[in-house]
Structure 1
Amino acid sequence: MTRFYWRKYRSLGVVTTLAILYLIVRAKNYEHKAFVFLANVHPSEPWEFVADFSNMKYLNPTIIDFNLLDESGDYVHWKYSLEYSEKLSHWPHSYNTAVAHFNIKASPKKDSYFIHSTHKTCLLFGLYCLNSVSEFKFSHGNSSKGASCEEHIQYQCPTVLSSFCRREVVYQRKAIMNNLFKKFDGRKF
């Protein structure tokens, strides 16, 4: 009889532990938007700068290194894929690696410019991966004397780490927008 109860409680403990682990690693989707206005700059200038990932080390201080995997297209429609590593701003002793695919396009009228990207970011030696999608739009906005730079990001994060992920995303996006502002000396709203 004792053996039966021990197995029953052990099974209950295993099921409970698995349920807790599932809740810890289960990823939810979150969103973030960032914006900067650059005065007296044509939208194609910051678009070209941001589209070249080699400039990302200047814009995003968490980027450590990257390796170009594939590239095709021309000025109007350019695609490339790369692998990059980055440290975490709020946990600098740890880093992650990601594979990203970029799709860079100018609108037919060349009044708006886009950078669409998908990222698969892996942590814990590649054992745990999360996805994110970004759309970075460069346009005249409501003014013809400057560039409106808007980024909309959808990212995954484990529920229990949502505040950590949000801080990380906000830190990186704020750094990118501030450094873009510094580079082009615009007027931020």
Structure 2
Amino acid sequence: MSRVQWKSKRTLGIVFSLIALYFTVRIKNYEHQASVFLSETHPNEAWEFVADFSNMKYLNPTIINFSIVSESGNYDNWKYSTQYSEFLSHWPHLRNNAVAHFNVKADKGKGVYFINSVHKTCLFFGFFCLDSESEFKFMRSNSSRGSVCEESVMYQCPALLSSFCRREVIFQRDAIMKNLKLHFARSRKSR
């Protein structure tokens, strides 16, 4: 094999390897939605409970610790930022750290309450970070006494790990909804 043929094959191999690497580690956006019905619960009650990040350790079992770094506003439009760390439910040896910014607001005229948040989650000592956004909405149920809580999440993940990321998001969202329902079922019994 001549030197020119060897260099051409090597260059072609490098180009194909870089293309393959790009398609396996490129970041893609994904979406997930979750909801829960809370009987005999006003949407305001659920909204206040979820908006208080100290309750998130109860709702989301992957959160290890957190600190509030800033807050401003009032009851009808409250903004705060937090730093928190959590482990991954399907790989608990890997911790990640995140910074999140929350906007908690109410449209009392329509009886709808919102918690919008933007998160930057970093793994591997901050060398690999991904973004996510959430809209958590609380409103009266049309069909019966109670509230509907809906969350829409947009999250980033490398294409190669999309299945792993999806399982992680589903685990956390399902845990939050299940624990939210459990909390208000218990509080109704204690009334």
**TM over 0.5: same fold?**
yes
CA distance in structure 1 between the partners assigned to 2:136 and 2:153 by the alignment: 9
How big is the shift at 1:148?
A: 0.8
How big is the shift at 1:144?
A: 6.0
Alignment of 1:63-82 (within 5 A): 63-82=63-82
How big is the shift at 1:166?
A: 0.8
How big is the shift at 1:164?
A: 0.8
CA distance in structure 1 between the partners assigned to 2:17 and 2:91 by the alignment: 27
What is the CA deviation profile of residues 35-94 of structure 1, one whole-angstrom value per residue up to 9, with x for unaligned ones? 111111111111111101111110000111112221101111000111111100001111
Unaligned runs of 5+ in 2: 187-191
How big is the shift at 1:24?
A: 1.5
Letter paired with 2:121: T
CA distance in structure 2 between the partners assigned to 1:55 and 1:63 by the alignment: 11
How big is the shift at 1:110?
A: 6.4
Residues 1:32 and 2:32 aligned together: yes
Letter paired with 1:66: F
Identity %: 63
Partner of 1:99: 99
Number of residue equivalences: 187
Residues 1:171 and 2:145 aligned together: no
What is the CA deviation profile of residues 113-157 of structure 1, one whole-angstrom value per residue up to 9, with x for unaligned ones? 100001111222222221111100011031462111111111111
Partner of 1:185: 185
Letter paired with 1:107: D
TM-score (norm 2): 0.91
Unaligned runs of 5+ in 1: none
User: Counterpart of 1:125 in 2: which secondary structure?
Assistant: coil
TM-score (norm 1): 0.92
User: Counterpart of 1:153 in 2: which secondary structure?
Assistant: strand
RMSD (Å) for aligned C-alpha atoms: 1.8
Partner of 2:55: 55
CA distance in structure 2 between the partners assigned to 1:14 and 1:20 by the alignment: 10
